[in-house]
Amino acid sequence: MDKKEFKKLAKKRGIPNFLYNLEGTGRDDERFNIVFDNGKWNVYYSERGCKTIDKFFDTEDEALRYMLSELSDYKRGKFIFGLSIIKENGIVQFPKQAIEEYKITVDKKVYLFTGSKITGGFCVTRKGLFEPSKLGKILTDTPELLNYTSKSGEFIKYKGRSYCWVDITDEGQIKLTEDMMKFLNIKPGMPLLSIRSSNIAFTMGAKGPLLEKSRNYKGKIPLF
């Protein structure tokens, strides 16, 4: 398989081209990328400048087949957990599949951080996933987040994004205050599309191509 064939198959499978970058130049954040590096083909998923998926292959064919397999999960709905409606009191119920996959309630608290310019909304993780990851330095550099000593829901800016912590119930619910919603540019009644964005966090997207695609999807997307 070469890049021309990859594009043809990706289009046939309904995979949006904004989910991958084959050129090795331009934007690489929040998408799969492929580059030739030191005699190997590197497939990676970049998130806030860090590679949360980082695999090497001997041939371009192997690398492209791997990337196509990962991206094909999108077509099967594997990247989409469901739609969560922000309640009038600011309560957000996370989809059951996201709760189970990320074990998001076990720490009793979660970290929220601002989403990308494309999807908006916010991303969700927990200390047990965040701290040991390649992005753990964010917590090391912000002990008030690491130790939950900042005010719940108070966003702290760090290198282009803002982070906070909030309590989460055993049922997988969080409560957004008016100030938090204003900061995130969301409001009660809005649908948030729950998307698997990496192995350490999922996104609650408020806008963008994926949300538009979900509105035109003929199948059933779980609603929470």
Instruction: Tell how far CA 35 is from the center of its chain.
Output: 22
Q: Which residue has the higher pLDDT, 47 or 53?
A: 53
pLDDT at 1: 92
Q: How confident is the model at residue 77 (pLDDT cuts 50, 70, 90)?
A: very low
pLDDT of 103 over the 70 cut: yes
Q: How confident is the model at residue 75 (pLDDT cuts 50, 70, 90)?
A: low
Q: Which residue has the higher pLDDT, 6 or 46?
A: 6
Which three-class secondary structure state does DSSP give residue 202? strand
Q: Give the pLDDT mean for 72-92.
A: 81
Locate 96 and state its tokens. Answer: 């059951």
Q: Which residue has the higher pLDDT, 170 or 117?
A: 170
Q: Is 70 within 8 Å of 6 (Cβ atoms)?
A: no
Q: Give the pLDDT mean for 66-90.
A: 82
Q: How many CB atoms lie within 10 A of CB 18?
A: 13
pLDDT at 48: 59
Q: How confident is the model at residue 107 (pLDDT cuts 50, 70, 90)?
A: very high
Q: Is 19 within 8 Å of 32 (Cβ atoms)?
A: yes
Report, in angstroms and rounded to the nearest whole number, the Rg of the chain calculated over CA atoms: 18
DSSP state for residue 94 in the 8-state scheme: P
pLDDT at 185: 96
Q: Give the pLDDT mean for 80-97.
A: 95
DSSP state for residue 223 in the 8-state scheme: B
Q: What does the pLDDT look like over 145-197, one tens digit per residue? A: 999 999 999 999 998 899 999 999 999 999 999 999 999 999 999 999 998 87
Rounded to two decimals, the pTM is 0.72
Q: How many CB atoms lie within 10 A of CB 100?
A: 12
